[in-house]
């Protein structure tokens, strides 16, 4: 049975990427353990506003674990102390009465701070634009069953496509690598016949854009896999490497 708890929230405040940030501590009383973490953040902001302060800026949208916007580092863990969930799916029952909860934005060179807990993740959009798509001729739409695809390949492609681009993988990586994200986007197309036509160009373009945007190299610590709310496997990174090497051999 859920109960009410009293907690302290140590939250990061920063006006912009160019200004120095700092931690600010607030006490919250009677927070229901049945509430979500983002609902707790809403309560915190209401309390700050009532006292005449400036509310904490943080990203959120669907609050259903789909959009990938709730990018928070909670007690040193991406998305908090639960596994295979986004921040909006984290509930306060994971915390105890009297806890001090530290909340920070993603810490990655590729994700500069916009304000407080909000970071700029447009780097991921630029990587997608570089090659995360399939070019098709317009006209009649082919029947979905016209191209037979083995179930094993279809399942792997669907698993890779589950990536929501939240950025937890890069934020958790000691090198700030975006390899798991890029690998998932490459894999979901490389595994399907529709994606083979542009496979070589895609692998080279997306890896090149990732490097250009300042993301680090993968050193296989697997912190990305552990932090991923959709449990994207690092086996996709091996597939990305194979796709990239094959593309280079073709050159």
Whole-prediction pTM value? 0.92
Count other C-beta atoms under 10 Å from residue 211's C-beta: 12
Final residue of a structural domain among 114, 147, 170: 114
- Res 137 pLDDT > 90: no
Domain-terminating residue out of 67, 85, 114: 114
End-to-end CA distance of the chain: 62
Q: Are 163 and 232 in contact (CB under 8 A)?
A: yes
Place of tokens 């509930």: 91
pLDDT of residue 144: 66
State the Cα–Cα distance between residues 44 and 29, nearest whole angstrom.
Answer: 10
Give yes or no: residues 134 and 233 share one domain.
yes
Of 63, 108, 116, 67, residue with least CA distance to 90: 63
Write the CATH number for 236.
1.10.1060.10
For 73-99, write each residue's pLDDT tens digit. Answer: 999 999 999 999 999 999 999 999 999
Domain match, 163 and 70 both:
no
Q: Which helix (H) or strand (E) holds 177?
A: none
Q: What is the pLDDT of residues 24-50, one digit of tens each?
A: 999 999 999 999 999 999 999 999 999
pLDDT of residue 140: 74
Decide the pairing of beta strands 118-119 and 113-115: antiparallel
The verdict on 160 and 70 lying in the same domain is no
Q: What is the pLDDT of residue 135?
A: 84
> Which whole number is the average pLDDT over 149-156?
94
Per-residue pLDDT for 67 more than 70? yes
Look at residue 2 and tell me whether its pLDDT is greater than 90. Answer: no
pLDDT in tens, 106-136: 999 899 999 999 999 999 999 999 999 888 7
User: Are residue 101 and residue 148 in the same domain, yes or no?
Assistant: no
16 is in which domain, residue-wise? 4-114
Q: Do 130 and 81 share a domain, yes or no?
A: no
At residue 243, does pLDDT exceed 90? Answer: yes
Specify the pLDDT at position 143: 73
The domain tally of the chain equals: 2
Which of 114, 146, 181 corresponds to the end of one domain?
Answer: 114
Going by pLDDT thresholds of 50, 70 and 90, the confidence category of residue 177 is very high
| pLDDT at residue 138, rounded to an integer | 67
Does residue 110 sit in the same domain as residue 169?
A: no
Question: Could you tell me the CA-to-CA distances from 104 to 35, 109, 249 in Å, in that order?
Answer: 20, 15, 43
Q: What is the pLDDT of residues 181-235, one digit of tens each?
A: 999 999 999 999 889 989 999 999 999 999 999 999 999 999 999 999 999 999 9
Mean confidence (pLDDT) of the chain: 94
How many angstroms separate the CA atoms of 45 and 53, rounded?
9
């Amino acid at each position: 049975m859920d109960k009410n708890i009293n907690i302290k929230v140590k939250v990061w405040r920063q006006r912009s990427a160019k200004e120095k940030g700092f931690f600010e501590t607030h006490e919250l009383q009677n927070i229901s353990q049945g509430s979500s973490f983002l609902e707790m953040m809403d309560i915190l902001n209401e309390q700050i506003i009532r006292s005449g302060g400036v509310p904490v800026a943080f990203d959120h949208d669907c609050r259903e674990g789909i959009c990938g916007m709730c990018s928070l580092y909670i007690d040193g863990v991406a998305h908090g102390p639960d596994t295979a969930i986004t921040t909006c799916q984290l509930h306060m029952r994971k915390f105890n009465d009297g806890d001090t909860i530290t909340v920070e934005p993603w810490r990655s060179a590729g994700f500069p701070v916009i304000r407080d807990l909000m970071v700029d993740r447009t780097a991921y959009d630029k990587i997608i634009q570089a090659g995360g798509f399939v070019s098709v001729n317009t006209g009649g739409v082919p029947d979905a069953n016209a191209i037979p695809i083995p179930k094993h390949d279809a399942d792997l492609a669907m698993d890779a496509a589950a990536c929501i681009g939240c950025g937890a993988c890069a934020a958790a990586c000691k090198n700030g690598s975006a390899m798991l994200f890029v690998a998932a986007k490459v894999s979901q197309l490389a595994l399907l016949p529709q994606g083979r036509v542009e496979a070589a160009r895609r692998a080279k373009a997306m890896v090149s854009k990732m490097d250009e945007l300042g993301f680090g190299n993968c050193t296989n610590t697997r912190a990305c896999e552990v932090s991923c709310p959709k449990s994207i496997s690092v086996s996709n990174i091996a597939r990305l490497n194979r796709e990239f090497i094959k593309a280079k051999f073709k050159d």
